[in-house]
Amino acid sequence: MKKKIVVISGANLFGGGTLSILKDCLHYANENLCNEYEVYALIHNAKDFVGYANIKFLEFREVRKSYFNRLYYEYWYYKRLSTELQPYLWLSMNDMSSNVYAERRAVYCHNPTPFKKLVLSDIWNQTQVFFFTLFYKFLYRINIRKNNYVIVQQNWLRIAFSKMFKLDLQKIIVSPPKVISKIELSEANKVGRITKTFFFPTYPRPFKNIAVIGEAVKILNAEGFNDFSVLITVDGSENQYAATIVKNYDHLAQMKFLGLISREEVFNLYQDVDYLIFPSTLETWGLPITEFKLFNKPILLSDLEYAHETLGDYHAAAFFDPENPKSLVYLMSEILKGKYEFESHKSIPIKGPLANNWKELFTILLE
C-alpha cells in the first residue's frame, strides 16, 4: 500500500529559534512518522540538515533572495509541486499559508510582528519595522482561513490570531516548543572566575531590545559596578540594527559582542554563564528561556505576557520593565551586591486544543 505523503515546508527558515524548531520537527518526523508516511522537507540549504536519513529533502536556494521569490514559491510554485506530490498533509513551518492542494493543511506561525502596537513615531524611528508589521499582517491573512489548523506557541497568540483573522479558537493549536538536544556539552570552565556573567543569545531585531541592556550597563558603570560581563550574540555585521547597537555600546568594557554562534556554542555558554537576560518586547515564545531552564540558573526577563507564559513553572526568576533600563539596573545591582533573592514562578493554565510535544501535534494534524 502506498504511503500517504507529508510535506514539511521551511525553505524560508535560516537561523535562530525558527530553524531550531524546524530541525526539532524534522527530528520527530524522521524518527516517528516515516514508517507510516513518506515525508518531504522543503529547505533552503541541505548542508544545514544532516542526520535525517528517512526524510526526502527538496532544496530551494532561490527562495530567500527576495520577497518576490518568497511569494512566487509560496503562492505559485508550491501549488504545482503539490499537484505532483499529492500530499495528505502540507505543514508550512514559515508563517505563510501556502497556496497548495492537500487533504489537510496547517501553518505554524512564528512571527509576532503583526501584533506589535504601532505608533506614529515608528515611521521615523523604526521605518523598516513599521512597514514590515503592516506587510506581515497582509501575509498572514492570505489563505489563513483555508488551513485546517493554525499553530501558535502561546495562548495569548491564539486569542490575538482569532480576533485579527476571525478564526475559530478550536482551529488554533497552542504548541509550546520543547527543546530536543543531542548536543554534547563541553566541560564548563569556571575555575577561579569571580566575575558574574549575564548572557543574551539573540538574532538582532529591534524588538529584541538589546539597547535596554546597554543603557543599564551604562548606569551600572556610573554607579561603580564594573566587575561583570554581558555576552550578546551580535557583532554589528548582521544588519543595520546590530551595527547601531555595537556602535552605541561597544565602548563599554562589560559588553561582549560575540557575533552569531552555533546552537552548540550557545548551549555551552548556557552551561558556563551565571544568568540569562531576556529583554525582548515581542515574542511568539522566546526559546532561550526554555533552553536555559534546563540548566537551573536564574533568569531575568521582560515583565510581559509572553515571558510569563514561556517561563511556566520555575524556581528562580526576576521580571523587569523592558522599557525602563533602571528597572533592569535594580535587579543587576542587587545581584552584583549578592542581595537579590529570586522568586519562584507558576505556569498559566491553557485550554485546548493544546499539543505539548510533536507527537501530540502530529496526532491532531493527521487524525
pLDDT at 222 over 60: yes
Give the span between the Cα atoms of 320 and 198, in whole angstroms.
15
Q: Which three cell numbers stand for residue 119?
A: 505608533
308-327 pLDDT, tens digit per residue, is 999 999 999 999 999 999 99
Which residue from 53, 72, 52, 54 is spatially nearest to 63, judged by alpha carbons? 72
188-219 pLDDT, tens digit per residue, is 444 445 689 999 999 998 889 999 999 999 99
CB of 181 within 8 A of CB of 23?
A: no
Per-residue model confidence (pLDDT) at position 19: 87
Length of the chain, please?
367
Give the span between the Cα atoms of 292 and 287, in whole angstroms.
9
Give the span between the Cα atoms of 159 and 353, in whole angstroms.
13
User: What domains are defined for the chain?
Assistant: 4-181+352-366 (3.40.50.2000), 196-345 (3.40.50.2000)
Per-residue model confidence (pLDDT) at position 188: 47
